[in-house]
Every structure is written in C-alpha cells, then in structure tokens.
Structure 1
Amino acid sequence: MTKTVLYARVSTSEQTIDHQLTQAREAGFQINDEDVIADHGVSGVNTKLADREGGKRLLDPLTLRKGDTLVVRWVDRLGRNYADVTGNIRHFMKKGVIIKTVINKMAFDGATKDPMQKAGRDAMIGFMAAQAEAQAQATKEAQQAGIAFHRETSPEKFKGRKPSFDRDQLEEVRSKLEAGLGHSAIAKETGLNRNLVIRIARDPAKAEALLARWGM
C-alpha cells in the first residue's frame, strides 16, 4: 500500500509547519498527521537535507518506497542549495518515489523513458532548484544591505533591546549548563527568567554578540 508523506521545513519562528500542512490538504493531498516529517528552525541554505533531523528520517530507506508520494510546498523546502536539492530529487526518483509540489502543482518521477521528456523534466528540476538558491542569495544580500544602512543611520536602534543579563550572569549560566543543571534550576539560582536561560542555552553565541553590541 502506497502512502503520501509531507516534508515541511521552517527556518524562523514566524513560520509554522501547520500552515504548510493546511496548504497541502487544501490542494487535495490526503496526508495523515503521522505522515508529516518536519524540520523546525533549520536553514535550507546552510544545512543539507541529510544533516537535518527530519531530513534524515525522510531519507531513511524505510520511510519512502517505490510508488509513494513526497509532497513539499515547493522545492525550496527541501533546501536552497542547487546541488543538494537536485541530488535529493534524483535520489527519490531513482527509488520510484513521486515528488509533488503544492505550489504550481508540479510532479517529478523517474518513470518516463522518453529522452525528450527526461530532458524537460530535468531542466525544470534544475531551474526550480537554481531559483530557490538565487532567491536565498538575494534575500541575504538585501538583509546585509539593510543592516549596514541601519548601523550607519541608527546605531542605537541597531543594537536592539538592551539585554536583561550581564556578562557575569552569562558566564554563570554557561558554567551551570556545563555542570548539567536544568533550565529551571539555573533560572532559580541566577534569578533570570527561565525562557532567557533556554535562549542562552540554545544560542550562547547570540547572547555573547548581544552583550558585545552594548559594550557589556
């Protein structure tokens, strides 16, 4: 019995997996909740599909078999690296898996033997993967230009909100994390908000950079 699997990826907290699932179902795909594979807060530019937790599950030989369908909102959910995206799509097609997109309702599979159809299919895959990478690069350049502008024109605003912790507290949180203490225990001992402790634990480099921007 064949199945339909949705792979969803979000790279920011403003995006949601549920939105991608709803879009897929509204487009007519019958997807069970247990057949949704997702990666949260993962960049499609810097992290290859095989290096993501959800991606590893998706590429597991037991997840998708010949005749199954892999649904993605668009190919950029698989990634924004040309070589990685095209390589993975070919991998699934070779297995006999059909890849379908919610946007534009594209379908790719390896069933065709006609050389002209193969050429057209491969050209479309290459174009879509290249477009995904180009869009990511354009977004990155625009963000960098915006940051540079605000750094020059509004240096105080660029700093963002002043951190609610100082360097001593950051070092204390780090040392307690290394000692194996839980987030709640650290929050209680340091007097910091538990959510702040969690944010520091997840990205200590970001916390360090925030202090540096404020000269703390």
Structure 2
Amino acid sequence: MTKERKLYYGRISTTDGQSIASQVEDAKAHCVSEKDTFIDEGVSGYHVAPLDRPQWAKVEHDLRHGGVLVVRWLDRISRRYDELHATMRRLMDMGVRVECTLNGMAFDGSEADPIQKAMRDAVLAFMAAQGESDYRNRREMQTRGIAIAKAEGKYTGRQRTHDYEAIKAWRAEHGASISRTAEHFGVGTATVKRACAVG
C-alpha cells in the first residue's frame, strides 16, 4: 500500500509578523519533512491568488491524486472568501484532507457521509468569510490610524525593521548568496533582495 503524501504549506507576507522559521518548525512538529514543506515568502494572501504563487502551485500539483495538506490556518491559503472557497473545493475534489495546526480542525475531501460533508462545507464557508472580514477590518483600521496620524503631523511612514546597508555590505564582503545572507541576519530572502536593491 502506497503511503499517503503529506505536505505542509506556509505563507508569510511583509505584515504577518511571522517568520519562515516558525512555519518550518510548525511543519517539523507535525511530522512533515523538509522536502515536503513549501513556503511562499513576501506574498499577500489577499492580493495574490494561490495559483499565482510558485510554492502553492507545486503543492496543488503534488496533491493532484490526494493526500494530506497541513497548514497553520486557512488564511495561509487565501484571505479572500471566493478564492479560499474555490481552492478548497479543488482540494476536496482531489480527495485532499486539509489539517490546521492552530486548532486541530480538519477538512476532509474524502468524506462520503452527506451530513458530515454539509457540516464541513458550512464550517469552511464561515471560516472563509471570517478570514476576509478580519483582513478588511484590519486594513480599514490601519488606514484610519494613518489618516489621523498624518492630520496630526505624527506619521513618518513605515519604519524599516532591518539595516539594509549592513545587510548589503555583509553580503558584498562575504560574496554570500541571498539565502545565506538571509540566514546570517535571521531575515527572509525578500528582505535581502530589498536591501540589495537600495541604491
């Protein structure tokens, strides 16, 4: 009997407050090997559709015959109701079981009982709606806060959390790759790319 394929998918945007390392550890904690861990970095879950992300495309390809997909939460897949619903529908149709590490919830595409399927789909619809609603509410509050700060002359723009010059200088001095530089500074590769692009 062939062992069921088990993959982990992670995604971080520049505002998530999470790191690749935390999601890699989450994958390990749930017995997913490094070669079966896929993470899209610096990608918005609201503005970039799942199939437009390189790592997610690999996930769907590898799970086309079924298997288990482990995610921290459904918002890693998408923060848009319609996109999350459509993506989960594709996964369900392929017989994929999606497991969320945040609270142990699972959405099983191989479920055959009509009542269980209805309950699964109802919970999924609610969680998809909540994900988009939470994102919109946070964005609205952020926009209002910035507008108030600007009106009061207190807004100075988003502050860098890393010293771009130091990152760029270290990489040049050591002839290091982007990934090695990212590892040295404990940042993502997107941060190193931005630092190197600073003129």
Tell me if both proteins adopt one fold, taking TM over 0.5 as the criterion. yes
Alpha-carbon shift at residue 47 of structure 1 (Å): 0.7
Counterpart in the other structure of 1:175: none
Q: Contact 1:7–1:72 (CA<8 Å) still a contact in 2? A: yes
Q: Aligned partners of 1:10 and 1:39: how far apart in 2?
A: 6
Counterpart in the other structure of 1:44: 45
Alpha-carbon shift at residue 132 of structure 1 (Å): 0.7
3-state SS of 1:158 partner? coil
**Identity rate of aligned residues, in percent?**
35
Gap runs ≥5 in structure 2: 160-171, 173-192
1:64 and 2:66 correspond: no
Alpha-carbon shift at residue 110 of structure 1 (Å): 2.2
Counterpart in the other structure of 2:24: 21
For 1:98-137, list aligned pairs within 5 A: 98-137=97-136
Q: Aligned partners of 1:195 and 1:111: how far apart in 2?
A: 43
- Give 1:95's aligned amino acid: M
3-state SS of 1:38 partner? strand
Gap runs ≥5 in structure 1: 162-183, 185-193, 201-216
CA-to-aligned-CA distance 1:138-187 (integer Å, 9 cap, x gap): 110011011001101125x42567xxxxxxxxxxxxxxxxxxxxxx7xxx
Q: Aligned partners of 1:136 and 1:84: how far apart in 2?
A: 14
Between structure 1 and structure 2, the one with the greater Rg is 1
CA-to-aligned-CA distance 1:45-100 (integer Å, 9 cap, x gap): 1111011111222222xx11444110010000001000111111111111111110
Assess, with a 3 A threshold, how the Cα gap between structure 1 residues 144 and 3 changes in structure 2: closer, same or farther: same
3-state SS of 1:7 partner? strand
Assess, with a 3 A threshold, how the Cα gap between structure 1 residues 20 and 197 changes in structure 2: closer, same or farther: closer
Q: Contact 1:96–1:109 (CA<8 Å) still a contact in 2? A: yes
- Give 2:6's aligned amino acid: T
Assess, with a 3 A threshold, how the Cα gap between structure 1 residues 197 and 124 changes in structure 2: closer, same or farther: same
Report the number of matched residues. 165
Q: Aligned partners of 1:65 and 1:72: how far apart in 2?
A: 17
Alpha-carbon shift at residue 41 of structure 1 (Å): 0.7
Assess, with a 3 A threshold, how the Cα gap between structure 1 residues 121 and 159 changes in structure 2: closer, same or farther: closer
Counterpart in the other structure of 1:6: 8
Alpha-carbon shift at residue 195 of structure 1 (Å): 6.3
Q: Give RMSD over aligned pairs.
A: 2.3
Q: Aligned partners of 1:64 and 1:105: how far apart in 2?
A: 20
Assess, with a 3 A threshold, how the Cα gap between structure 1 residues 130 and 195 changes in structure 2: closer, same or farther: closer
Higher relative contact order (CA 8 A, sep 6+): 2
Q: Aligned partners of 2:116 and 2:194: how far apart in 1?
A: 53
Question: Runs (4+) of structure 1 moved beyond 6 Å?
Answer: none
Alpha-carbon shift at residue 15 of structure 1 (Å): 2.2
Q: Aligned partners of 1:23 and 1:65: how far apart in 2?
A: 23
3-state SS of 2:137 partner? helix
Q: Aligned partners of 2:109 and 2:66: how far apart in 1?
A: 11
Q: Contact 2:27–2:33 (CA<8 Å) still a contact in 1? A: no
Alpha-carbon shift at residue 120 of structure 1 (Å): 0.6
User: Which of residues 155, 158, 161 in structure 1 aligns to 2:156?
Assistant: 158
The normalised TM-score by structure 1 is 0.69
Q: Aligned partners of 1:112 and 1:121: how far apart in 2?
A: 9
Counterpart in the other structure of 2:145: 146
